[in-house]
Structure 1
Amino acid sequence: MATLISVTAFTTTAMSQAKSLKDQLVGTWIYVSSTATREDGSAIERPKLQGAVTYTADGRFHFITVRSDAPKYASGDSARPSADEAMAIASGIVAYTGTYTVDESTKTITVNIETSSFPNLVGAPNQRRIVTSITDNELNFTNPRTPAGITLALVFKRAK
């Protein structure tokens, strides 16, 4: 009987300490860096970015990255950029939101993008993110294939 109680207590303690991947993801993560590679393995230069990704406990997420060197609008009016300013902003931002699920066995996040600054992402199939590592303070995941056909490896730190 004592052995049964000890095993039960140990199992309960171990299980309470082991968090699921989904539980570990919940929160806001600040963008640190990313690398991009083509199918042939060659590197693609990435602009300097800033941003974040947030995962909620109820299965929603929000992702945004913007160029950190984006020009300010000369007019000072967000509705009146010059053509060059608008192009610099539009080509330097990726923002999307929707729902997500986690496959604990493959450490895969599957996102269902509902709205995006890049409309081609909305409803696109096979939007997987493979978690390569996660700690209390750092999240690394790979997007194995973007619509442009590249692989992105992203690094985030937990927001404080």
Structure 2
Amino acid sequence: MNIVVLAVGKAGQCAEAELCGRYMERAGRVGRQIGITDVTVREIADMTGPNHAAAEGEKMLAARRTGPLVVMDERGEGWTSVELACRLAGWQEAGTTNLTFAIGGADGHADAVRSAADRVLSLGPMTLPHLLARAVLLEQLYRAVTIRLGHPYHRA
């Protein structure tokens, strides 16, 4: 299964980008042991203007691969790390080849993106900067893989 994180904004050369890269690499490397072939981030350019969230949403939906779409939104469901690991296992058992997570820009997701979602997931009730949300999601994907492998990284 390929996991793609579609994220509005450019990471550049900041500390958050380094952290994202570290967890993306770990999740991809360790994930191969359970059939996750790739974990990548595809960046969607920030848009400007009065309808920028809708324009970002159109680009995001056009970049989406076939398969389930999980939209990250503070109003979504709250999953534990173990629940995320179980859902990943379920998607794999169902034969899912592509799984997409979507992180919106400063104004969140357009209605069209939320409507296209198979699931809407929250990282918590607080609003996070999208680069930090990206890092947290990638860490949780790595954690989910380690949970499935019985690796001691997840100690809860």
From the two aligned structures, give the one with the greater strand fraction: 1
Choose between structure 1 and 2 for higher RCO, CA contacts under 8 A separated by at least 6 residues. Answer: 2
Same fold (TM over 0.5): no
The TM-score, its normalising length taken from structure 2, stands at: 0.29
Structure with the greater alpha carbon radius of gyration? 1
From the two aligned structures, give the one with the greater helix fraction: 2
